Amino acid sequence: MSTHSEMVESEYKAHKVLLPLVFKQCDACGSDFAGAAESKQNKRAVLAWRKQVDGLLTGEEITALRKQYKLTQGQAAKLFGGGPVAFSKYENDDVAQSEAMDTLLRLVRRSPQAFWALVAEKSMESEFMGEPIKVPAQSNVVHLTAVRGSGEKSDSRYNPRPFRSFESGAEAWKQ
Ligand SMILES: [Zn+2]
């Protein structure tokens, strides 16, 4: 048994193309067939071409976009939608993304601002901590590590008095 490929004409929406489709051939009797692996590979080749005809991003282009933003397939699904295995299917050309999904992907590919706006919209900032967190310069919020009264002072330098003026109404730091 050996694997062969043959250029086969495929037609879609009045477009024609020759695609290399694979099949297995019996070396003894010459009969040929496409097994599960060959069928899958052939379907992917056909769908990849149809996506191009429809003006959709190819699987390869989607992989490149995902890597552009250092996203895992799981993160991409959380961010863009489509379900947990959506990006595996899009990228392998097992499924064609919708036109709406394609538009969103193109927008984010074009614009890092759109990417960060989407991250904020989905409350996924914590998954992308590589980016510096911007704190407004005029912020006067003081973050204190709570020191619980255990009978002994763990840090004699700790003196909350200077912060009282900031926290007159709040009790949290005193606990
Ligand atoms: Zn045979």
Cα of 40 from ligand 1 centre, angstroms? 22
Cα of 22 from ligand 1 centre, angstroms? 17
- Return mean pLDDT, the chain: 83
Which tens digits make up the pLDDT trace of 24-62? 999 999 899 889 999 999 999 999 999 999 999 999 999
Q: Is 13 exposed, middle or buried (0-12, 13-18, 19+ CB in 10 A)?
A: exposed
CA distance readout (Å), 10 to 33, 68, 162: 18, 32, 77
Cα of 25 from ligand 1 centre, angstroms? 8
Cα of 34 from ligand 1 centre, angstroms? 14
Which tens digits make up the pLDDT trace of 96-139? 999 999 999 999 999 999 999 999 999 999 988 665 555 556 65
Residues 91, 71: Cα–Cα separation, whole Å: 13
Cα of 21 from ligand 1 centre, angstroms? 20
Cα of 114 from ligand 1 centre, angstroms? 57
Q: Are 172 and 143 in contact (CB under 8 A)?
A: no
Cα of 33 from ligand 1 centre, angstroms? 10
Q: Which of 79, 48, 84 is nearest to 66 (CA)?
A: 79
Cα of 1 from ligand 1 centre, angstroms? 8
Q: What residue ranges define each of the domains in the chain, with the CATH number in brackets?
A: 2-53 (3.10.20.860), 59-128 (1.10.260.40)
Query: Does residue 158 register a pLDDT over 70?
Result: no
Cα of 27 from ligand 1 centre, angstroms? 7
pTM over 0.85: no
Nearest-Å Rg of the Cα atoms of the chain is: 28
Cα of 46 from ligand 1 centre, angstroms? 28
Please tell me the predicted confidence (pLDDT) of residue 145: 59
